[in-house]
């Protein structure tokens, strides 16, 4: 047998061994079946000088809990949100944009964004079956979007006025007639 055939056989054997080792390492792990999920990020910010710049949203783990898919991110990341506009919204020039995080591990995460009115941030418990929408609106605290209208305060003040009016009418009815 020539040296050329021996070297060819050894090269083939080495390649086959390497392929076997690589394929053996490709087996699934127990957390492959866990959900792989992302957060949806929406930003609304006032335009500065008629320009809508990219807004970097920083996502930082605070406390990770439970098991995560092996492809889920468990480190700080920055998502660049492309802003479009400005559009006129009630007389204010507003920029709007949206994007997604990388796949994310479950737990508490801090989301922060530099908006025109100042830095906005919140901590959100991110779970696969929870609220995965992060909404930053310039001038609104947190990342849940616009706060709901305070219905309770409006109702209680209206009831208080009605009660005062009824009390006055009742007092007039009880007063004895001059006679």
Model pLDDT, residue 78: 98
Nearest to 144 by CA among 158, 133, 155: 133
Phi/psi at 120 (5° precision): -115, 140
In a domain, residue 125? The reply is: yes
What percent of the chain has pLDDT above 70? 64
Ranges of residues in the chain whose predicted pLDDT is under 70: 1-31, 146-179
Model pLDDT, residue 131: 92
Q: What is the mean pLDDT of the chain?
A: 78
CA distance 137 to 31: 36
In a domain, residue 170? The reply is: no
Model pLDDT, residue 32: 72
Model pLDDT, residue 66: 86
Q: For the chain, how many structural domains are there in total?
A: 1
3-state secondary structure of 33: coil
Domain, as residue range, for 69: 40-144
pLDDT in tens, 56-102: 999 999 999 988 999 999 999 999 999 999 999 888 899 999 999 99
Model pLDDT, residue 51: 92
Strand order in the sheet with 40-46: 84-89, 92-100, 40-46, 133-137
- pTM for the model stands at 0.66
Model pLDDT, residue 34: 82
In a domain, residue 157? The reply is: no
In a domain, residue 93? The reply is: yes
In a domain, residue 67? The reply is: yes
């Amino acid at each position: 047998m020539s040296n050329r055939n021996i070297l060819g056989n050894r090269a083939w054997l080495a390649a086959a061994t390497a392929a076997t080792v690589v394929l053996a390492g490709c087996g699934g792990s127990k957390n492959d079946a866990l959900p792989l999920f992302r957060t949806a990020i929406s930003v609304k910010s006032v335009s500065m000088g008629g320009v809508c710049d990219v807004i970097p949203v920083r996502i930082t783990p605070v406390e990770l809990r439970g098991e995560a898919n092996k492809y889920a991110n468990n480190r700080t990341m920055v998502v660049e949100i492309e802003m479009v506009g400005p559009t006129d919204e009630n007389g204010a020039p507003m920029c709007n944009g949206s994007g997604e995080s990388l796949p994310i591990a479950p737990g508490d995460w801090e989301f922060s964004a530099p908006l025109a009115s100042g830095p906005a941030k919140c901590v959100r418990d991110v779970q696969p079956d929870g609220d995965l929408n992060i909404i930053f609106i310039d001038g609104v605290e947190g990342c849940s979007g616009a706060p709901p209208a305070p219905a309770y305060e409006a109702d209680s003040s209206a009831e208080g006025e009605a009660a005062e009016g009824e009390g006055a009418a009742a007092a007039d009815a009880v007063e004895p007639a001059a006679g």
